[in-house]
Amino acid sequence: MKNLLFLITIVLFSCNQSSSETASLQKRVDSLQIKLNKSYKPGLGEFMSQIQVHHAKLWFAGKYENWPLADFEVGEIQEALDDIPKFCSDRPEVKSIDIIDPAMDFLSAAIKAKDEKRFDSSFILLTATCNDCHKATNHGFNRIKIPEIPPVSNQEFRLLK
C-alpha cells in the first residue's frame, strides 16, 4: 500500500510537472509568434521597386556589353522573383509571377552567349512580359519601359579591364 501511494504521488507529480513545462513552452511560443508578427516583412511593392532598379541596371550592363554585370543583375531579379511567393503569398498577383520565367530564360541565354542582338530582343520581351503581367493583375497603370538614363550615377556600367 505504501509503495502504491508512493507510485501515485510520483505519477501525479510527473503529470503536474509536464503540464507546467508545456504551459511555459507555450508561453514562449506565443511570445515569439507575437514578435514574428511584428517583424518587418517586405511587401510586393518593395520587391517590384527592387526589380525595377535591377531591370534598368541590366539594360545598361547589356548596352555596354558588361556581361558579368548583366548576369549579376539577372540573378538579382531572379532572387527577388523567387522571394515574392515566400513573403507575399497573400497577394493574388503572386499566382501570375511565373509568367516571367520564359523571358528570364531567354535573357539569361543571351547574356551567356554574349550576344547583344539577342540581349536587346530578350530585354524587350522581358519588359513587355512585365507589362503584360501588370495588365493581367489590374496594375496596367504601372508600365515599365526601356530606361533612357542609368538609375544611379555612381556605378560604371562599362566593363573595365
pTM score, whole prediction = 0.78
Q: With beta carbons less than 8 A apart as the criterion, state whether 25 and 121 touch.
A: no
Helix or strand holding residue 29 (H, E): helix 2-38
Is the CB of residue 110 less than 8 Å from the CB of residue 70?
A: no
Task: Please count the residues of the chain.
Answer: 161
pLDDT digits (tens, 9 = 90+) for 62-94: 999 999 999 999 999 999 999 999 999 999 999
H or E stretch including 56? helix 44-63
Q: Which fold has domain 44-136?
A: Four Helix Bundle (Hemerythrin (Met), subunit A) (1.20.120)
Cα 147 from Cα 151, distance rounded (Å): 8
Residue 143 confidence (pLDDT) above 90 = yes
Render pLDDT for 5-44 as a digit per residue (tens, 0 to 9): 444 555 555 555 567 788 888 888 788 788 778 788 889 9
